[in-house]
Amino acid sequence: MKDSPRVKAFSLQVRLAQLRVKHQDVKAKIASELKRPAPCSLILRGLKLRRLQIKDELTRCVATLKAHGLSRLSPQHSASGEPA
C-alpha cells in the first residue's frame, strides 16, 4: 500500500524537524570543541562531516517536498533550519 501525498509530506516534515534538531546539536558540539584549549582536529573533522551529511539530507527532503508541491516550510527557515 502506498502512502498518500499528505502522509508522505507529513513524514518528510517530521524528518525535517528531526534533522534540524540534529544539525543544531552537532553545531553546538562543534562550538563546544572549539572552546577547548586544544581542540581535537579528528573530533572536529568528524563533527563537521556529520553536520554536512545532515545538511545534505535536509536539502534532499526540502527538494522532495518542493518537487511534489507539498512544501509547507515556514519561509523564515532555510534547508538547514537557520533563519533566512
More confident residue, 79 or 39: 39
Break the chain into its structural domains and give their ranges. Answer: 5-67
Q: Record the pTM.
A: 0.74
- Give per-residue pLDDT as tens, 11-32: 889 999 999 999 999 999 999 9
Q: Rounded to whole angstroms, how far apart are CA atoms 50 and 80?
A: 13
Q: In the structure, what pLDDT confidence band is assigned to residue 65 with cuts at 50, 70 and 90?
A: confident
Query: Which residue in 32, 34, 81 sits closest to 54, CA to CA?
Result: 81
Q: In the structure, what pLDDT confidence band is assigned to residue 72 with cuts at 50, 70 and 90?
A: low
How much is the pLDDT for 68?
A: 78
Contact 23, 81 (CB under 8 A): yes
Per DSSP, the three-state class of 77 is strand
